[in-house]
Amino acid sequence: MAGGETWRARSRRNWRKLHLALDAENGEIIAHSLTDQNTDDPSQIEPLLSQIDGKIDRFTADGAYDGKPTYQTILRHSSNAIVVIPPRSTAVESGDTGPPGQRDGHIAVIAEQGRLKWQAATGYGKRALIETAIGRYKALIGSRLRARSFAAQQTEVAIGCIVLNRMLACGHPESVRNQVRPA
């Protein structure tokens, strides 16, 4: 050791967050982003949307993405998109003049009817598809990254998404709800 350097035991483990955008119709991963643990979720909206060529009809995400900047970014990409993000429990309407925005509408409906009725009315339950995709990724590709550098990890995730999409295309079940006939 030279020059009085001090060595501190430092954890080498860094968390990575995988952000996915899915096509709700077929479960295909249409965009992905890998970040470190210090990157906030809303900052990944633009990188995800930049990977999507066409307009989107609907954007559903969890409450971590809530905020006016998120709505603005989504509506810049697809001006007619329906945005379904649950506002925080402490959220208040913006007070902007003019017609209320989608976020203000969500806040008002939740205040009047409650969060569960809002979830049913907006179809927020579709967000479970992303949790299923993450579970599929972890089960089939693995829950750990094997590459050491961040750039190589991003490549690893991209390849994993391509593999999952190919597997999904080969054997995606089509579920149909049957009516129960009275006996």
Per-residue pLDDT of the chain (183 residues; tens, 9 = 90+): 344 444 455 556 778 999 999 998 888 999 999 999 899 999 999 999 999 999 999 999 999 899 889 999 999 999 999 999 999 888 888 877 666 789 999 999 999 999 999 999 999 988 888 888 888 899 999 989 999 899 999 999 999 999 999 998 887 667 778 888 887
Query: Residue 11: what pLDDT?
Result: 59
Query: Residue 98: what pLDDT?
Result: 66
What is the pTM assigned to this prediction?
0.78
Cβ atoms within 10 Å of 157's Cβ, excluding its own: 21
Query: Residue 2: what pLDDT?
Result: 45
Query: Residue 15: what pLDDT?
Result: 86
Distance CA 12, CA 6 (A): 17
Residues 5-10: contacts with CB under 8 Å, at least 24 apart? none
Report which secondary-structure segment, H or E, holds 71: helix 68-77
